[in-house]
Chains A and B, each alone.
Chain A
Amino acid sequence: MAQKQEEVQIVPENRVYGRPALLTDRVMHYCPGCSHGTIHKLIAEVIDEMGMQDRTIGVSPVGCGVFAYNYIDIDWAEAAHGRACAVATAMKRLCPDKLIFTYQGDGDLSAIGTGETIHTCNRGESIAVIYVNNAIYGMTGGQMAPTTLVGMKTATSPNGRDVKLHGYPFKIAEMIACLEGVRYVTRQSVGTPAGVRRAKKALRKAFENSMEGKGLSFVEFVSTCNSGWKMTPVAANQWMEEHMFPFYPLGDIKNE
């Protein structure tokens, strides 16, 4: 029989971790093991710590992140597929005192929305772009994304991505780092506690750049999609480190 444990009363004084104030009570629809939940949490924390809740507008994408507005307690607009950067452009131009960020997946940002993304970067709009790259279309059921690795199996590349048929995986972060209007490009991941801490710093920097009118900041999150990848969360994390990181290396790509 287990020994009766001493009951510890939970009070604010002994709390080592709190639920971010800006996360709502809504149960997230994300699959267990998905990176979205952690990234949402970091965004909520940073906005709260900056005291920006009443001056922030988020733009959610089409894709798994579409319901971001249900989870982070700020004003949101849900954009058409790929158009978040255009939506955010107008918001920032019209409301320069607001913190404006987009939250987009790889299909949204680097397939259908490539044009809007690149031109928004090139104009140097002072917004933050949060880019969740899990190399697959999650919401529509695991189809190939522009960022799908060579040889990776998806619903629309059942025999693995073949460059002759599908072309090469798309490194949009490196591409936009070449643009004059872009201030800060970094690639992060939330697969480990240390990675989470680094990612939070990167988000804070991106948001501060936006408020200081310093041009566009781009934070890519190399992420897992264990459902789409058909792996357990643990295996997905490991696969990400072994296969995604070599092709999408973490760290700052541009920091001016």
Chain B
Amino acid sequence: MKEDVRLMKGNEAIAEAAIRSGCDGYFGYPITPQSEVLETLMEMRPWETTGMVVLQAESEIASINMVYGGAACGKRVMTSSSSPGISLMCEGISYIAGAELPCLIVNVQRGGPGLGTIQPSQSDYFQATKGGGHGDYRMIVLAPASVQEMYDFVFDGFDLAFRYRIPTMILSDGVIGQMMEKVVVTRNRGRMSDEEICRQSGDWALTGRKANRQRHVATSLALEPAEMEATNLRLQAKYNEIEQSEVRYDELMTDDADYLIVAFGSSARIASETVQMARKKGLKLGLLRPITLWPFPSERIADLAARMKGILCVELNAGQMIEDVRLAVAGQVAVEHYGRMGGQLFTPGDVYEAVQEKLLKKRRH
């Protein structure tokens, strides 16, 4: 069979993949730079083909609570937004995590704080990986670096969400959301019936109380501290299992590298060109790209750090992921940060200069 290769924006790839991954419902609200997700779905009218529900909600708050309702019924449901909208969703995400429901949330980040700018940024790393909402909860966070990964991670995101009954986020940004690249459009899986959901992830969904089972309740409430602590311990055990099994990362020329860049998403794309520039000039530079931002590839970074002369974290923010990198490196080698903020981008050349400035010169002094 001939491959179906298309030129797509990252946001369009999310919409296409949603339909093909057997998504039951999308609930969203327009915000730049991700509005093409909802626009594309409305254009494609999946309710006429797969039966997928697409609804423009009155706010991001309504969107995430619609996701909560759909997820509670055992449906594959998702939303997408950009930074300020995700802030509004944080309460709902905490409830979804607390009630242990599966869902997919896409953040096509823009620069903040506040209303900020509509230009790309990676300044929601903390929000995505450290909480955002209240309470001791986690989301699995996937960081795509290409339009193809935007497409693929919708499938992977739903799989992970249902495997662990956990909210999963695709943390993208305006670069990946707005750019067009070739996408191999693969797979086509159907929506799941109530029975299939039960078979796949256990009998927990709200499908109507049947005579042969107890009533199901989706809730994050437990007023008794002992009960609430037990809930937390169960969550932590699950998070521990995810940390053991689901870490993903990619590497470029790390085998013989003296210096290492750690970058995710669009920054990693830009930095991969920097690595090639450096290699041409004889500098042994490598790149580690965390694909899961939580769980974070701490062990691999610690291993690599042992044989590096310096590490540079390259991020479109003021230095967020660097905290996790430093925790992993645990002082074995100096870890520096290079970033732009407020929607400004760096080029591969800018990153190369930063490597010179922050890693090589400092060592010489």
Contact = CB atoms under 8 A, between A and B. Distances in A.
> Would A and B touch once assembled, by the CB under 8 A criterion?
yes
A56 B207 CA distance: 8
B31 interface: no
A59 B73 CA distance: 12
Contacts of B77: 90, 94
Contacts of B53: 90, 93-94
Q: Report which residue of A55, A57, A94 has the largest number of chain B beta carbons within 10 angstroms of its beta carbon.
A: A94
B209 A78 contact: no
Contacts of B59: 115
B24 interface: yes
A75 B62 contact: no
Interface in B115-167: none
B215 interface: yes
B215 A77 contact: no
Given A90-B27, A95-B73, A79 B215 contact: no
B209 A54 contact: yes
Chain B: interface residue count, which band?
A: 35 or more
Q: Report which residue of A66, A95, A115 has the largest number of chain B beta carbons within 10 angstroms of its beta carbon.
A: A95
Interface stretch (B5-13, B218-226, B291-299, B326-334): B218-226
B208 A55 contact: yes
A167 B95 CA distance: 32
Given A76-B218, A80-B92, A116-B58, A54 B67 contact: no
Contacts of B27: 90
Nearest to A80: B95
A54 B194 CA distance: 13
A56 B208 contact: yes
A130 interface: no
Interface in B204-221: 206-211, 215-221
Interface in B46-74: 53, 55, 57-59, 61-63, 65-70, 72-73
Interface stretch (A9-17, A81-89, A155-163, A196-204): A81-89
B186 to A, nearest CB: 26
A89 B209 CA distance: 20
A79 B208 contact: no
Contacts of B57: 86, 119
B91 interface: yes
Contact of B25 (A73, A80, A90): A90
Interface string A59-103: 100000010010001111111100100111111011100100000
Given A77-B217, A78-B220, A90-B70, A83 B208 contact: no
Given A75-B207, A115-B61, A116-B62, A90 B218 contact: no
A66 to B, nearest CB: 6
Contacts of B215: 69, 73-76
Contacts of B95: 79-80
Given A75-B206, A77-B68, A77-B69, A89 B217 contact: no
A57 B206 contact: yes
A143 interface: no
B115 to A, nearest CB: 19
A77 B204 CA distance: 12
B65 A83 contact: yes
B66 A86 contact: yes
A227 interface: no
A175 to B, nearest CB: 16
B221 A87 contact: no
A87 B65 contact: yes
A12 to B, nearest CB: 21
Q: Report which residue of A66, A76, A87, A95 has the largest number of chain B beta carbons within 10 angstroms of its beta carbon.
A: A87
Interface in A38-56: 53-56
A90 B67 contact: yes
Contacts of B289: none
B208 A78 contact: no
B75 interface: yes
A50 to B, nearest CB: 13
Contact of A53 (B55, B67, B69, B209): B209
A91 B69 contact: yes
B58 A93 contact: no
A74 B208 contact: yes
A59 B219 CA distance: 10
B208 A87 contact: no
Nearest 3 pairs between A and B by C-beta? A87-B69, A78-B219, A90-B69
Interface of B: 24-25, 27, 53, 55, 57-59, 61-63, 65-70, 72-73, 75, 77, 91-92, 95, 99, 206-211, 215-221
Given A56-B209, A83-B92, 5 more contacts: A77-B72, A77-B99, A78-B217, A93-B70, A119-B62
9 contacts: A56-B208, A69-B217, A73-B215, A75-B206, A75-B217, A78-B217, A80-B68, A86-B63, A89-B55
